[in-house]
Amino acid sequence: MLKVNGKDVEWREGLSFSELYRQIGYTISNPRVIVKVNGEKIAKAERKEYNIPDSAEIEVINTLCGG
């Protein structure tokens, strides 16, 4: 189980950020966001190969605002 922005999200081996984004409601696979895993910022270039650990606390922060 993961905590994403304070909410429980199911974890599985090999979970990608694209899949995680879909699970939390994003409709595009590569949104413009800042991502922190256990307090450490994960660069956009690193996310494709990053192994999301079980029990991680993840923050996904939008960088674009609509109006």
Mean pLDDT value of segment 24-53: 94
Secondary structure element (H or E) that encloses residue 67, with its range: none
Q: How confident is the model over 28-35, as a mean pLDDT?
A: 89
CA–CA distance, 30 with 64 (Å, rounded to integer) = 13
Its domain, for residue 40, covers: 2-62
Q: What is the CATH number of the domain that holds 38?
A: 3.10.20.30
Give the pLDDT mean for 43-50.
Answer: 95
Average pLDDT for 38-62: 96
What is the rounded average pLDDT of the residues 5-28? 94
User: Is 67 domain-assigned?
Assistant: no
Q: Which DSSP state fits 26?
A: -
| 35 domain residue, yes or no | yes
Q: What is the pLDDT of residue 67?
A: 59
Q: Structural domain tally of the chain?
A: 1
**According to the model, what pLDDT value does residue 66 have?**
64
User: 28: pLDDT confidence band, cut at 50, 70 and 90?
Assistant: confident
Q: Is residue 47 part of a domain?
A: yes
